Structure 1
Amino acid sequence: MDLYMAARGVIAPTARTLWPLRVEGLHHVPRTGPVILASNHLALIDPLFIGVVVPRQIIFVAKKELFSERTLPQRAFTRALRAIGQVPVDRSAGYRQDAMQASLDFLNSGAAFGIFPEGTRSPDGRLYRGRTGLAWLALTSQAPVIPIALSGTPHILPPGRRIPRFNRIGMRFGPPVDLSAWEGQGERARARRAATNEIMSSIQRLSGQTMVDRYASDVKKA
């Protein structure tokens, strides 16, 4: 906690200076207790801006491939990820359940847990189908889900550009998503899908993105 807040004390003013932030609805995030922050995902740097804005420690679970230290820039990026609370996990099929259990343990300890339900960055700026692990976490832990819509982050370092752009970043927080219709049904696949769709709809209403009923990872593979 102390390391996180110390790093945030350095990173937050710098980020706000380089990328002016327009934030709406931050009061929806509870100051204490378990909460799931579910956001659209547009760029690798998205977790940094959420960590800069939310005034409490957030734990993110990120694929271990991001934590490379082969080059100096990669080492700097890895240290920044760890400083803002990202935890590396192996997301292959054999380890997926372990990652979900670890995420549930974080919530049960009263943590704020950040998640990108699309599972990967949007390939074209649209909002893709959410992964149902989000609903399992929400329905099992009974933690409130706060939807978040980010904008502007893809323009910071688009493909082929080496020098970051210093544009404005937008972030909108919505009220907790009402999942009462599926309370106690975390083990039912249909309930998880319906609850996940409700969360994604809440994100879409904040972001204005076009929704696509496909997984972003499938589109990237194609």
Structure 2
Amino acid sequence: MWYWLFKYVFLGPVLWGLGRPTVEGTENIPAEGGAILASNHQAVLDSFFLPLRVPRRITFLAKSEYFTGTGLKGAFQRWFFSVVGQVPIDRTGADAAQDALNAGLRVLSQGKLLGIYPEGTRSPDGRLYKGKTGLARMALESGVKVIPVAMIGTEKVNPIGSRVWRPAKVTIRVGEPIDFSRFEGMGGNRFVERAVTDEVMYKLMKLSGQEYVDIYAATLKKKAPAADGSAPAPVAGVAPANDASTVTRLPDTRAS
């Protein structure tokens, strides 16, 4: 009940006013049954704007930090993320990947829509980063289709580090479902899982128009600023954000 109240009564009207969100391709989302919505990740508000324009309820895997806060703020945060359908996962433990896989498979086995951010974290600079293969494992083990979703403009409404949301146009593009049944029984093969993940990232790159960088976003975020406060040193193989000439492009991995 709380999910729908937030969507239509409490939070939804605010997001409508801020982002005027439009959506393209909702016919690609099945009316029933499990499926994975694989989205780029520009802002925290991605997890709110997407459910706002998708008729079915979406369950996201969320970092466990949202559920472990203390005091009044922590209690509210824990309650809020629970009632809007977020499933906590611990991203720091030795079994983090397996725990996330198990949580995702449980959601899919119940015939629900599972929202996943293959990059694993928000983009630090608006570009699209290398996808993690947990997405592929879930798709191959569950047998469901993967639906690529491009979120455009949410980073302007909710810039990284901002405390106040800002009005900006938001567009959501839902791509055609990708069927990976040709890889049936090949889950656990790291080459297959990488191929599946790269195919999804290629679709996201085409839908979003983002530049692609062939490293994990978390790797770039770990680069600490220099002691004198200057910008961190460049990561090998990563072009500056304003230098599109050296950005790696994913090959077209679509089956012929």
Normalised by the length of structure 2, the TM-score is 0.80
The CA RMSD over aligned residues, in Å, is 1.9
The answer on whether the counterparts of 2:123 and 2:217 sit within 8 Å (CA) in structure 1 is yes
Partner deviation per Cα, 1:154-203 (whole Å, 9 max, x = no partner): 11232454332111111100001242442321121100000000011011
The answer on whether the counterparts of 1:34 and 1:107 sit within 8 Å (CA) in structure 2 is yes
Bigger mean CA offset, 86-95 vs 157-166: 157-166
Partner deviation per Cα, 1:23-63 (whole Å, 9 max, x = no partner): 11111011110010000001111101111111111111111
Where do 1:145-156 residues align within 5 Å?
A: 145-156=146-157
Q: 1:152 to 1:78 in 2, by over 3 A?
A: farther
Q: Check if 1:53 corresponds to 2:53.
A: yes
Aligned residue identity for 1:149: A
Aligned residue identity for 2:120: G
The answer on whether the counterparts of 1:64 and 1:90 sit within 8 Å (CA) in structure 2 is yes
Where do 1:1-222 residues align within 5 Å?
A: 2-10=1-9, 11-67=11-67, 69-70=69-70, 77-96=77-96, 97-159=98-160, 161-222=162-223
Structure with more relative contact order (C-alpha pairs < 8 Å, separation 6 or more): 1
The answer on whether the counterparts of 2:121 and 2:217 sit within 8 Å (CA) in structure 1 is yes
Q: What's the offset of the Cα at 1:98?
A: 1.9
Q: 1:92 to 1:163 in 2, by over 3 A?
A: closer
Q: Counterparts of 1:155 and 1:75 in 2: how far apart (Å)?
A: 29
Partner deviation per Cα, 1:97-156 (whole Å, 9 max, x = no partner): 122112101101111100000000011111000000000000110111100000111112
Aligned residue identity for 1:24: E
Q: Counterparts of 2:161 and 2:3 in 1: how far apart (Å)?
A: 32
Segments of structure 2 that go 5 or more residues without pairing to the other structure are 224-256
Bigger mean CA offset, 184-193 vs 149-158: 149-158
Segments of structure 1 that go 5 or more residues without pairing to the other structure are none
Q: Which of these two proteins has the greater Rg computed from alpha carbons?
A: 2
SS in 1 for 2:62: strand
Q: Counterparts of 2:161 and 2:107 in 1: how far apart (Å)?
A: 37
Q: 1:221 to 1:135 in 2, by over 3 A?
A: same
The answer on whether the counterparts of 1:156 and 1:164 sit within 8 Å (CA) in structure 2 is yes
- Matched residues, percent identical? 43
SS in 2 for 1:165: coil
Q: Counterparts of 1:3 and 1:33 in 2: how far apart (Å)?
A: 22
Q: How many residue pairs end up in the alignment?
A: 221
